[in-house]
Every structure is written in C-alpha cells, then in structure tokens.
Structure 1
Amino acid sequence: MQLQINKEQVLAELQRHVGRENGIHGRDLVARITGQATNQPALERAVRDFIVELRMDQHRVCGYPASGYYMAATQKEFDDTCVFLLERASTTVDQVAAMKGRFAPDLYIEMGVPSPSKKSTTAGVSK
C-alpha cells in the first residue's frame, strides 16, 4: 500500500473524473491513490497542493466543496470554476483594500471573467 502521492498520480485519477457530476473529494482521491481508506490529513493537504500545481500547469481542474474535484467537461464548468476562485480571491483582496483604505482592483476585469454581480471596489463604497 502506497503512503505517498505525487502530482502525476493526482492528475491520472482526476482524468477519470470528468464533469461536475463525477467529482471526487480530496479524502477519496487519497484513498483511491493509496489504497487506504483511513483519514490522512497530510496527504489530503498534499492533494490540495497538487491541485494548485496542476492549475498552474494550465490543467482545467475544477472543484467545489459540495462536488469535489473534477476535470472540466464543458467551457461552462471551467468558467464557473474561474468565477468561484475569483470570488474567493476577491473577498481577500477586498478585505485588504478596506483595511488599508484603498481601492481594490476588479479581478474579474483583470482576468477577463464575467463578474457574477456588482461588488464594492473601495472600502465602504458600493458601485
């Protein structure tokens, strides 16, 4: 039984999970790769780190807490994941901008992703 995971193994397993309806959670990815069904937080953390690396390598890895990770089957799944990730990043950027009393950049415009809604771009000032 294997107790280590590498990026190539994560990618190979994700390629069996195409489309949101076929998503797999991190703990289940660990179990599939290692053959171990027990909780392994360190390996789950490694899977999350490899997901980031795969995305940085331009693999279209999607994921949501409810559905788990999967490879995009459609452009819409890919776009929805980009919006989800930008929402998370925007929340953090907005907090930093507010604390510093500065304007926050519109990450949706910067990344060429349609904004899901109008949001505040300055500390305490709505558009």
Structure 2
Amino acid sequence: MQADLFASDVISLDSVLGALRGRVGQANGCTARELVLAISGRFSTGDERRLRKVVVALREAGHPICGTPDTGYFIAATAAELDRTCEWLYGRSMTTLRQVGAMKRVTLPDLRGQLGLPIGANHESHE
C-alpha cells in the first residue's frame, strides 16, 4: 500500500478511514468537501485531490468505500450498496476507454489486444 505517500498529510489513510467509519450506509454519505472539512477543519482543492487519492488507495487495499456524485462517500452497509458503486466505477472506466478508442481510432478490444489470440489456438483444460 502507499501509506508512506500520505503519512505526513492531515488527509491520510488513517484519518479518512476514521472519518468514514462514522458514515456507514448510503444515507450517511457526505461530499468530498464535507469529508475534508470534517478531517482537517479547512478546505482546499489540493485537500480534495489528496482525499480522492487516499480513497483510491483505501479501495485498492480492499476497504468497501462507496461513493458517487449522487451519494457522496460512505462505507458500504450492504452488498447492494457496494455493487452500485462498483457499477458506477465500471461505467466511468468504460466512458474513458471509449474516449481513448475514439481518439486512437481503434475498437475497445484492440486497445490492449484482448482479441489478439490467433484463431484456432490450442486451448488445453487445466482441471
């Protein structure tokens, strides 16, 4: 994990996770601005950017931190809440990939060679 990257900041892995522990369930979601103010008592766009990076690091560490522009940030109380955030993140990533494909004038599967397997390749079962 990138703990050392955020260790000296007020907006740290521990401070964000601590603040979110009081925000379980979608009904308790809060905006990035509200979360930054709760943690640091101040707000700046730099703090908000740092918060977003910390949220990514926490998610990559396996914490079920949910959030969309409509709900704000919160810790999932149910599998359905987590699934909704994952679907939103998936949709956002697909939008980005479609833009990249359009700019490079390639199809989505060709962006990273997903369909680059030779036809008739020998596929053995590894049971």
State whether TM-score is above 0.5.
yes
1:49 is paired with a residue whose SS is: helix
2:86 pairs with 82, 89, 104, which one? 82
**What are the residue-to-residue correspondences of 1:1-127 with 2, within 5 Å?**
4-34=10-40, 36=41, 38-105=42-109
Q: CA deviation at 1:102?
A: 2.5
Structure 1: which amino acid aligns with 2:49?
R
State TM-score, norm by structure 1: 0.73
TM-superposition CA deviations, 1:71-127 (whole Å, max 9, x none): 11111111111110010000111122233332214xxxxxxxxxxxxxxxxxxxxxx
| Aligned residues between the structures | 101
2:74 is paired with a residue whose SS is: strand
TM-superposition CA deviations, 1:1-60 (whole Å, max 9, x none): xx82211110011111011110011111111112x2x43221111111100000110111
CA distance in structure 2 between the aligned counterparts of 1:23 and 1:33, rounded to whole angstroms: 15
2:62 is paired with a residue whose SS is: coil
Flag structure 1 segments of 5+ consecutive residues without an equivalent: 106-127
Report runs of 4+ in structure 1 exceeding 4 Å deviation.
Answer: none
Identical-residue share of aligned pairs (%):
41
